C-alpha cells in the first residue's frame, strides 16, 4: 500500500531533499562564522525588505559603520564587535522569531532594533524574558521601553515630537488654526497627532479639523477638500514619506498653499522624489540634521559618504545616525561595565549620561528613554526633484 | 469506548511531549532550544490553517483567499475574551489550581473564537457561495481587508498600536492538540457522506446537483468549518505571541496559506500538513543566506511548482488505500483509527 505511492513521491521529494541540504549547508556556514573567542556578538533585527525597507537598511549601514569604527580603534575589552543581522520583513511575528533566533541560537549579548514600534513591541518581550539588553534606534512609541528594564531606546518618544512641532508652529511660524491629518493605520502617526493636538491647544492654537487616512492610500482628495473648506494656516501630517509625498502634490493641485508639518517619518530621500517641489517650505522634526556643524557629526557624514559612495542613499538619514549611536552607546556601556555579561551591560546602559553621539547629547532617563534635543528641518526641493533639508532650529526638551 | 481511549492517548502523548520539550528545549541543554520551540509552535498553527483552508479550497473546490481574515477574527476575539474577561473567568473557577484556570480561560477563548469565526464564515459564505465561479475569491479577499481595517480602528483591541498584554496561555500541547483535532475532523469529514458531496461539488457542480446534492448548503458547510478552525488557530496564535498586530494578517498571510496547500498538494490532508511545515521551516532554514534569503525561498517554491505542479503529494493520500477501505467497509471507528494514524501508533487489530 505504501509502495504504490512511493514512486510518485520520489520525484517530488528530490527538490525538497535538495533544499534541506541547502538549508543545512547555510546553517553550517553561519555557525563557522559566529562564535570565535575574540569576538563579541551583537544582533540587529530590522526590516531589510518590505514596505519600510529603507529604515532597516539605513540602520544597518549606521550600525556597520559604528562597529567598524570601534573595531578600528581596538574594539571593546580587547575583543572585536561582530554584528549578526536578521531580516524581519517589517512583520511583527518575523521580528519576534528573528530575535528569538539571535538570542538563543547565535547567543548574542545584546540586540539592536527595530525602527518600527510595532515590530519592537513584538520582539521586546523575548529580549526581556531572556534578560538580554535591547536598544531600539528609532521606535518612538512610549510603550516599547515599558515592556521591561532590559529595553532601551536612543531616540526621543512620540510625545516629545508632538510637543516640538506644537512649539515650532506656535512660536516660530505663529500659526493659529491648524488642521491635523493623521495616518490611522500607524500607531506612530496617531501618537504624534495626539500629543500635537494636546500641546498646540494648550499653547492657545485651534485645531480646525482632525481627520485621517490609511497607510497605502494613493488618493487624498476627499480629506484635502474637507481641509480646504476649513481654511487652516497649516496642516500637521505626521505620516510616512510615501503618503506624505503624494499628499503634498495633491494638496498643491487643489490650491492648498499652506505649510505642511510632520515628524521623522518624513525622513527619506524618497520624499523628495515622490513629493517634488510641492514640499517646498514644509517643516518636520527630526533626530538630527546633516547641516549641524558639530564636528562629530560632520565626521560621521563624511565617513558615511565615503563608505557608501555610489549607492542611492549616500547621505545618512536619521535612521542611519540613530543606528550608529545605538551601537556606540552599547559599546560604551560594555566598556564602562568592563564586561559583556548582559546584566552588567544593562546596568551600565541605564546609567548612560551625556553621551555625545551624532544625534546629540544623549542621556537615558529612569524609563530607559533618551532625553535629547530635536531639530526642525525645512524641505527644499527644486523642480527636478533634487531635494535637501535645511536646518531650521533646535528644540530642547 | 476505544475512541475515548484513543483521545486520551493523544492527550497523554502530547502532554508528555510538552513536558519533554519544555525540559529539553526551553529550560534544558539545547542552546537554540527556544528558537526551535518557537518554529515548532508556529508550524503547528500553520498546520491548522492549511488543513482548514484545504477543506474549502482543496476538497470542496471553492477558492477562498481570505483565510487570514478569519485567522484575525479568531485571534482578536479570543485575545479580547482572555484580556477583558480573564480575571472574571478565573474568579468563577477559583476552586481549581492555576494551571487548570489557564486551561479554562483558553478553552473559553477558543470557543468564543470558533463561534465568532463560524458566524463570520456564515455571513460571508451564504451570499457568495450561492454563486459559481470567482465570486468567493473576490468576496473573501475583500472580507480579509475589511476585517484588518476594522481592527485598526477599534481602540479596545489596540488599533494601530497592536494588542499587547495578552496572557501566554497556549503552548506546544494546545497547538498540536488542536492540529490533531483539525486533521481528524477534516479526515473524517472527507470520508463521510458530506465529504463525498464536497468532492462531487469540486469535480462537477452541475452533476452534483443533478445527483440531488444541496450544493449551496454543502459549500457553506465546508466554508464555515474551515473558517472556524482558522479562528481557533488565531486564538492559539495570539495567546502564544502575546502581541497581535494587523501586519500579521494581511492578504500576504492568506496567500501564504494558499501556497502551503498548493505546495503540499491541493486536496491532500497530508500535503497540507507537509506544506505548512515546509513553509514555516524553509524561510528560517534559509536565514544563512542573509539578504538573498527571500530570493532563495521563492526560487525553492518555483522549483517545486515546476517539478511537481500538482504539489508534493498531489491528491494522493499517504495512507489512502487502507483508509478508504476501512471507511467504506466498516463504517465504525474511523475516527479512532485516524487518531491512531496521527500519533503513529497505528492500530494493528
The CA–CA distances, whole Å, from A308 to A111, A314, B57, B69, B299 equal 24, 5, 48, 42, 29
The verdict on residue A340 lying in a domain is: yes
Residue A218 belongs to a domain: yes
**What's the whole-number average pLDDT of chain A?**
83
On chain A, the residues whose CB falls within 8 A of the CB of B159 are 184, 187, 190
Cα–Cα dist B223/B221, whole Å = 5
Tell me if chain B has a CB within 8 Å of the CB of A121.
Answer: yes
C-alpha torsion sign, points A238, A242, A245, A249: negative
Q: How far apart are CA A287 and CA A100, in angstroms?
A: 29
Is A30 domain-assigned?
A: no
Residues A151 and A298 in one domain: yes
Select from A62, A94, A84 the least CA-distant residue to A359: A62
* Average pLDDT estimate for B95-100: 82
Residues A89-126 have pLDDT tens digits of 888 888 988 998 898 888 899 999 888 888 898 899 88
Q: Are residues A89 and A149 in the same domain?
A: yes
The whole-chain average pLDDT of chain B stands at 81
A191: chain B residues, CB-CB within 8 Å: 161
Judgement on whether residues A187 and A151 belong to the same structural domain of the protein: no
Domain co-membership, A269 together with A171: yes
A233 and A86 in one domain?
no
| pLDDT of res. A23 | 58
Cα–Cα distance between B147 and B75 in angstroms, integer? Answer: 12
Q: Does A86 reside within a domain? A: yes
Residue A3 lies in a domain: no
The pLDDT score that the predictor gives to residue B236 is 92
- Give dist(CA B191, CA A237) in Å, integer: 58
Backbone angles phi, psi at A46, to 5 degrees: -165, 170
A186 and B160 within 8 Å at the Cβ level: the answer is yes
Q: Is cis: bond before A114, omega within 30 of 0?
A: yes
Whether residue A214 and residue B38 make contact (CB cut-off 8 A), yes or no, is no
Judged against a pLDDT cut of 80, whether residue B73 lies above it is answered with yes
Is residue A7 predicted with pLDDT exceeding 70? no
Q: Are B176 and B14 in contact (CB under 8 A)?
A: yes
Clarify whether residues A55 and A197 are in a common domain.
no
Q: What is the pLDDT of residue B338?
A: 41
pLDDT tens-place string over residues A326-346: 999 999 999 898 888 888 999
Within A151-215, strands assigned E span 151-153, 177-183, 206-213
B334 pLDDT above the threshold of 70: no
The terminus-to-terminus CA distance of chain A in angstroms comes to: 75
Question: Are A121 and B248 a contacting pair at CB < 8 A?
Answer: no
Nearest C-alpha in A relative to B250: A91
Query: Domain range spanning residue A267?
Result: 159-286+376-395
Using a CB-CB distance cutoff of 8 angstroms, which residues of chain B are in contact with residue A184?
A: 152-153, 159-160
| pLDDT over 90, % of chain B | 18
The reply to whether A265 and A343 lie within a common domain is: no
Domain assignment present for residue A4? The answer is no
- Please report the ipTM that was assigned to this predicted complex: 0.71
Question: A264 or A152, which is more confident?
Answer: A152
- Tell me the C-alpha to C-alpha distance, in Å, between residue A189 and each of A65, A236, A260, B329: 30, 10, 15, 63
| Closest C-alpha to A292, from A187, A170, A390, A221 | A390
Per residue in A72-86, pLDDT tens?
888 888 888 899 988
Q: Please report which helix (H) or strand (E) contains residue A199, including its range.
A: helix A187-202
A 197-216 near B (Cβ less than 8 A): 214
Taking only the tens place, the pLDDT of each residue in A227-263 is 888 889 899 999 888 888 888 889 988 888 889 999 8
Q: Is the CB of residue A127 less than 8 Å away from at least one CB of chain B?
A: no
Minimal C-alpha gap between B304 and chain A (Å)? 7
Q: For residue A13, is pLDDT > 70?
A: no
Contact A190 B285 (CB under 8 A): no
Contacts of B248 in chain A (CB under 8 A): 91-93
User: Taking CB atoms and an 8 Å cutoff, what residues of chain B touch A1?
Assistant: 319, 321-322
DSSP string, B280-313: HHHHHHGGGGGGGHHHHHHHHHHHHHHH-TT-SS
- DSSP of A328-353, one letter per residue? HHHHHHHHHHTS--HHHHHHHHHT--
Query: Are A19 and B282 inside 8 Å of each other by CB?
Result: yes
- Domain with residue A244: its CATH number is 3.40.50.2300
Beta bridge partners of A259: A234
Q: Do residue A263 and residue A347 come from a single domain? A: no
Number of H helices, E strands in chain A: 13, 15
Domain shared by A298 and A350, yes or no: yes
Residues A77 and A37: beta-carbon distance below 8 Å: no
pLDDT tier for residue A33 given thresholds of 50, 70 and 90: very low
Q: What is the pLDDT of residues B129-185, one digit of tens each?
A: 887 777 888 888 888 888 888 888 887 887 777 888 888 888 888 899 899 899 989
Classify residue A239: in a domain, yes or no: yes
- Find the residue in A nearest to B149 (Cα): A185
d(CA A110, CA A112): 7
Per residue in B287-320, pLDDT (tens digit) is: 877 677 778 888 888 888 888 877 777 766 655 5
Q: In A, which residues are within 8 Å of B303 by CB distance?
A: 15
CB A214, CB A243: distance < 8 Å: no
Q: Residue B304's closest chain A neighbor by CA?
A: A15
Q: Are residues A263 and A387 in the same domain?
A: yes
* Contact check, Cβ <8 Å, A97/B39: yes
Domain count, chain A: 2
> A257 with A389, same domain?
yes
Q: Do residues A153 and A121 touch, judged by C-beta distance below 8 A?
A: no
What is the band of A24 on the pLDDT scale with cuts at 50, 70, 90?
low
Partner-chain contact B243 A125, CB within 8 Å: yes
Exposed/middle/buried for A242, CB within 10 Å: 0-12, 13-18, 19+?
buried
**pLDDT the model gives residue B234:** 93
Taking residue B115's Cβ as centre, other Cβ atoms within 10 Å add up to 14
Chain A stretch 77-116, residues whose beta carbon is closer than 8 A to a beta carbon of chain B: 85-87, 89-93, 96-97, 100-101, 103-105, 107
- Report yes or no: A143 at the B interface, CB cutoff 8 Å: yes
Task: Work out the average pLDDT over B108-133.
Answer: 88
Provide φ and ψ at A375, rounded to 5°.
Answer: -115, 150
> Facing residues of A43 across strands?
A84, A111
A86 and A130, same structural domain? Answer: yes
In a domain, A223, yes or no: yes
CA distance B229 to B110: 10
Amino acid at each position: 500500500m505504501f509502495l504504490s505511492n512511493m514512486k510518485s513521491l520520489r520525484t517530488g521529494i528530490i527538490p525538497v531533499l535538495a533544499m534541506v541540504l541547502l538549508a543545512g549547508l547555510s546553517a553550517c556556514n553561519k555557525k563557522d562564522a559566529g562564535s570565535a573567542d575574540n569576538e563579541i556578538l551583537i544582533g540587529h533585527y530590522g526590516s531589510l525588505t518590505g514596505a519600510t525597507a529603507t529604515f532597516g537598511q539605513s540602520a544597518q549601514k549606521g550600525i556597520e559603520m559604528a562597529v567598524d569604527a570601534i573595531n578600528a580603534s581596538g574594539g571593546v575589552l580587547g575583543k572585536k564587535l561582530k554584528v549578526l543581522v536578521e531580516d524581519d520583513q517589517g512583520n511583527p511575528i518575523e521580528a519576534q522569531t528573528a530575535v528569538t533566533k539571535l538570542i538563543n541560537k547565535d547567543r548574542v549579548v545584546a540586540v539592536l532594533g527595530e525602527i518600527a514600534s510595532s515590530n519592537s513591541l513584538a520582539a521586546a518581550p523575548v529580549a526581556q524574558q531572556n534578560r538580554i539588553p535591547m536598544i531600539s534606534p528609532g521606535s518612538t512609541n512610549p510603550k516599547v521601553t515599558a515592556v521591561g528594564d532590559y529595553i532601551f531606546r536612543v531616540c526621543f518618544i512620540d510625545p516629545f515630537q508632538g510637543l516640538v512641532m506644537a512649539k515650532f508652529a506656535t512660536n516660530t511660524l505663529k500659526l493659529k488654526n491648524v488642521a491635523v491629518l493623521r495616518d490611522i493605520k500607524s500607531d506612530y502617526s496617531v501618537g504624534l497627532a495626539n500629543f500635537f493636538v494636546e500641546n498646540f491647544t494648550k499653547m492657545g492654537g485651534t485645531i480646525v479639523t482632525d481627520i485621517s487616512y490609511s497607510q497605502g492610500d494613493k488618493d487624498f482628495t476627499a480629506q484635502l477638500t474637507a481641509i480646504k473648506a476649513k481654511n487652516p494656516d497649516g496642516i500637521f501630517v505626521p505620516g510616512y514619506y510615501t503618503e506624505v509625498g503624494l499628499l503634498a502634490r495633491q494638496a498643491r493641485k487643489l490650491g492648498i498653499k499652506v505649510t505642511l508639518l510632520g515628524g521623522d517619518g518624513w525622513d527619506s530621500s524618497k520624499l523628495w522624489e515622490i513629493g517634488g517641489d510641492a514640499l517646498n517650505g514644509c517643516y518636520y522634526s527630526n533626530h538630527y540634521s546633516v547641516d549641524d556643524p558639530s564636528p562629530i557629526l560632520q565626521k560621521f557624514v563624511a565617513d558615511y559618504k565615503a563608505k557608501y559612495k555610489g549607492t542611492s542613499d549616500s547621505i545618512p538619514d536619521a535612521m542611519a545616525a540613530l543606528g550608529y549611536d545605538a551601537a556606540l552607546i552599547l559599546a560604551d556601556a560594555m566598556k564602562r561595565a568592563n564586561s559583556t555579561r548582559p546584566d552588567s551591560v544593562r546596568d551600565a546602559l541605564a546609567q548612560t549620561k551625556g553621551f555625545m553621539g551624532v544625534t546629540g547629547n544623549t542621556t537615558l532617563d529612569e524609563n530607559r528613554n533618551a532625553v535629547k534635543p530635536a531639530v526642525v528641518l525645512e524641505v527644499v526641493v527644486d523642480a527636478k526633484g533634487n531635494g535637501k533639508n535645511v536646518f531650521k532650529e533646535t528644540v530642547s526638551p | 469506548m476505544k475512541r475515548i481511549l484513543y483521545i486520551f492517548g493523544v492527550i497523554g502523548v502530547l502532554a508528555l511531549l510538552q513536558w519533554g520539550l519544555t525540559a529539553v528545549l526551553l529550560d534544558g541543554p539545547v542552546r537554540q532550544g527556544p528558537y526551535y520551540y518557537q518554529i515548532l509552535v508556529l508550524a503547528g498553527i500553520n498546520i491548522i490553517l492549511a488543513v482548514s483552508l484545504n477543506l474549502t479550497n482543496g476538497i470542496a473546490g471553492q477558492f477562498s483567499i481570505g483565510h487570514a481574515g478569519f485567522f484575525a477574527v479568531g485571534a482578536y476575539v479570543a485575545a479580547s475574551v482572555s484580556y477583558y474577561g480573564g480575571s472574571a473567568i478565573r474568579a468563577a473557577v477559583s476552586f481549581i489550581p492555576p494551571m487548570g484556570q489557564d486551561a479554562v480561560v483558553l478553552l473559553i477563548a477558543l470557543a468564543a473564537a470558533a463561534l465568532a469565526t463560524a458566524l463570520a464564515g456564515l455571513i460571508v459564505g451564504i451570499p457568495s457561495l450561492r454563486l459559481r465561479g470567482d465570486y468567493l475569491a473576490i468576496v473573501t479577499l475583500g472580507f480579509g481587508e475589511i476585517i484588518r481595517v476594522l481592527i485598526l480602528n477599534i481602540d479596545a483591541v489596540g488599533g494601530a498600536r497592536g494588542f499587547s498584554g495578552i496572557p501566554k496561555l497556549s503552548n506546544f500541547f494546545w497547538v498540536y492538540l488542536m492540529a490533531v483535532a483539525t486533521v481528524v475532523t477534516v479526515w473524517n469529514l472527507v470520508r463521510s457522506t458530506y465529504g463525498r458531496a464536497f468532492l462531487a461539488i469540486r469535480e462537477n457542480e452541475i452533476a452534483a446537483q443533478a445527483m440531488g446534492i444541496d450544493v449551496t448548503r454543502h459549500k457553506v458547510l465546508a466554508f464555515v468549518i474551515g473558517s472556524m478552525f482558522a479562528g481557533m488557530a488565531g486564538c492559539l496564535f495570539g495567546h502564544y505571541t502575546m502581541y497581535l498586530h494587523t501586519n500579521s494578517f494581511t492578504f500576504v498571510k492568506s496567500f501564504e496559506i494558499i501556497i502551503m496547500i498548493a505546495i503540499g498538494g491541493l486536496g491532500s490532508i497530508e500535503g497540507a500538513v507537509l506544506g505548512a511545515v515546509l513553509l514555516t521551516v524553509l524561510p528560517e532554514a534559509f536565514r544563512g543566506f542573509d539578504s538573498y534569503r527571500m530570493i532563495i525561498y521563492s526560487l525553492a517554491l518555483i522549483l517545486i511548482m515546476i517539478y511537481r505542479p500538482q504539489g508534493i503529494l498531489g491528491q494522493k493520500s499517504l495512507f489512502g488505500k487502507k483508509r478508504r477501505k476501512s471507511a467504506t467497509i466498516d463504517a465504525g471507528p474511523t475516527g479512532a483509527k485516524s487518531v491512531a494514524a496521527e500519533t503513529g501508533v497505528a492500530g494493528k487489530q
